[in-house]
Structure 1
Amino acid sequence: MTEDDTVHEEPLTIGAFAARARLSAKALRLYDRLGLLAPAYVDEASGYRYYRADQVERARLVALLRQLDMPLARIAEVIGAEGAEAAGLLAAYWADVEARVAGQRTLVGYLRGRLSGRSSEMYGKFVIETVDVPARVVLTEKRHTLADELPAWIGASLGRLEAAARECGGVAGAPFVVYHAEVSMESDGPAEACVPVADEAAARAWAERQGRAREIRVRVEPAARVAYTRITKAQVAHPQILAAFEAVEEWLAREGLEPAGPCREVYFADWAAAGPEDPVCDVAFPVRAR
């Protein structure tokens, strides 16, 4: 068929097009409403939809992508791309799906342990210790964030804080993240990233120069006795890290202690250089006697 033949080909009614595309008319109306596949034209008088034969492949592709539970925005990206770019977008989406499923598989194992009463077995692998931490001056950045946004925000925020610390006498301790309320897929905290600095006067002078619009603040983190457990890079992932927090909480209850402030994660190692089994983080609670 020549290009002229395609241009002048008789348009297909929605019923004929649906049969050729092996889809229902209802699905085609949905794709139109979602902006994924519009008819070639719509008769203004009757409201009938008409399609071109060369739209069949796009219709079938949309249907297949929807079977992967791909969000509409990403379907639009894939069908709007060509060749290797479209394949790359699909591969990236499926990598995200597999990562999510792997996390959900781990979560199922964790929940099975809890529901079957084996929580003590899970908690037993964590060693709990205490340490006295002196008061520190910290640069902080606080944000309301959901769990899926948290890792990227922590990395970016600590990077900004460490850069600012260079103008405040330098970094004077391990960076940490304080959770002032629950961070999950339904609850957005807030979380507070913190970097200790060496020179309080320089930090406050730097903050003053930033003016009211600054996102980075300066505060004093009070001295505290802290109960913590050390975890590996693999254990930082959700839900393994939940078991670490709960193990510390269970230990506090046994020892007659209670949290004296919000829980936190202390990052003492080079994250990029660490392997899955390398210790990188302390899950910690400031504590006091009941």
Structure 2
Amino acid sequence: MTSVHEDLLTIGAFAARARLSAKALRLYDRLGLLAPAYVDESSGYRYYRAAQVERARLVALLRRLDMPLARIAEVAGAEGGEAARLLGAYWADVEARLAGQRTLAEYLRGRLSGRSEEMYGKFAVETVDVPARVVITESRHTLADELPAWIGASLGRLEAAARECGGVAAAPFVVYHAEVSTESDGPAEACVPVADEAAARAWAARQGRGRETGVRVEPAARLAYVRITKAQVAHPQILAAFEAVEEWLGREGLEPAGPCREIYFADWTAAGPEDPVCDVAFPVRAR
């Protein structure tokens, strides 16, 4: 090397300063997280500057948090306060995911140990007869992670459109025409009952082809349902509510007469975690 490069460290010397292995440094280079300051074209030897030690140690620590490579690059490339903010945002996501997984594990433990009475006994199943209703709708194939945001947005759009259709005539609801999970994308259908069928059909016609909106008549039905709180709407607690209704149907000699649904009768924004906000329901009929 020329004198221009005399301040560079060999990969072995740099690895010792960074308390990492040469293998790890080669990996970081390959992943685009920490490139050598200089690579000798003839020998292929890598050389680093002492100023790169801090980034090398930071990358190693962030990898121990299972941080995705793209986010490691973002944090490592940011300045102090912004880097801390990015790390905080990532860890908040991790804790939210772990909290959900912890709840799911407890739910599955209950299922696997046969604690059905403990799981379902807290839900009181009731029935109600509902008349036929005209509904304006918006449908979407969506996975579970995207579902809450889509429900809020789609019902908001439909409630705004209901002003053109005689107003909202009953509680909005979401129908699941197939399973929505981390692997199955439904579809789900957001529905808002409206008072003026002619105006609703005119509204639907203005949406144009290719839009996932529409209008239809929801038939009269007897619904079996349980009422749940805002906290229980979260996955997987809501699964236990659906299963409680299904178990009750089996005991009562009934069966689903249509797809399951969630009926949102309360102001979601104003509700607290323990406030009732939703009915989990199935249309039912005798076997």
Answer whether TM exceeds 0.5 for this pair: yes
CA distance in 2, matches of 1:114, 1:250: 13
- Give unpaired runs (5+ residues) of structure 2: none
C-alpha spacing 1:46/1:197, structure 2 compared with 1 (3 Å): farther
Relative to the length of structure 1, the TM-score reads 0.92
Q: Give, in angstroms, the shift of residue 80 of structure 1.
A: 2.3
Matched position secondary structure for 2:105: helix
Matched position secondary structure for 2:165: coil
- 1:164 partnered with 2:161: yes
1:106, 1:239 within 8 Å by CA — same for their partners in 2?
yes
Provide Cα deviations, 1:138-191, integer angstroms capped at 9, x if missing partner: 222222222111111111111122122222222221111111111112222221
Q: Give, in angstroms, the shift of residue 28 of structure 1.
A: 1.9
1:161, 1:216 within 8 Å by CA — same for their partners in 2?
no
CA distance in 2, matches of 1:138, 1:72: 46
Matched position secondary structure for 1:230: strand
Matched position secondary structure for 1:266: strand
Q: Give, in angstroms, the shift of residue 198 of structure 1.
A: 1.6
CA distance in 2, matches of 1:50, 1:197: 70
- 1:287 partnered with 2:273: no
**Which segment drifts farther, 28-37 or 243-252?**
28-37
Matched position secondary structure for 1:113: helix
Q: Give, in angstroms, the shift of residue 8 of structure 1.
A: 6.0
Q: Give, in angstroms, the shift of residue 9 of structure 1.
A: 5.3
1:138, 1:221 within 8 Å by CA — same for their partners in 2?
yes
Provide Cα deviations, 1:50-94, integer angstroms capped at 9, x if missing partner: 222211111111111111111222222212221222111111211
2:228, 2:278 within 8 Å by CA — same for their partners in 1?
yes
CA RMSD of aligned residues (A): 1.7
Q: What residue identity is the alignment partner of 1:155?
A: G
Q: Name the counterpart of 2:197.
A: 200
C-alpha spacing 1:220/1:58, structure 2 compared with 1 (3 Å): same
Matched position secondary structure for 2:164: coil
Q: Name the counterpart of 2:69.
A: 72
CA distance in 1, matches of 2:26, 2:265: 55
Matched position secondary structure for 1:38: coil
- 1:276 partnered with 2:262: no
- 1:81 partnered with 2:84: no
Number of residue-to-residue matches in the alignment: 284
C-alpha spacing 1:9/1:43, structure 2 compared with 1 (3 Å): closer
Matched position secondary structure for 1:166: helix
C-alpha spacing 1:140/1:46, structure 2 compared with 1 (3 Å): farther
Q: Name the counterpart of 2:55.
A: 58
CA distance in 2, matches of 1:146, 1:115: 25
- 1:221 partnered with 2:218: yes
Relative to the length of structure 2, the TM-score reads 0.93
CA distance in 2, matches of 1:263, 1:135: 17
- 1:212 partnered with 2:209: yes
- 1:137 partnered with 2:134: yes
Describe how 1:1-290 pairs up with structure 2 within 5 A: 10-290=7-287
C-alpha spacing 1:8/1:46, structure 2 compared with 1 (3 Å): closer
CA distance in 2, matches of 1:19, 1:12: 10
Q: What residue identity is the alignment partner of 1:169?
A: G
CA distance in 1, matches of 2:108, 2:191: 31
Matched position secondary structure for 1:167: helix
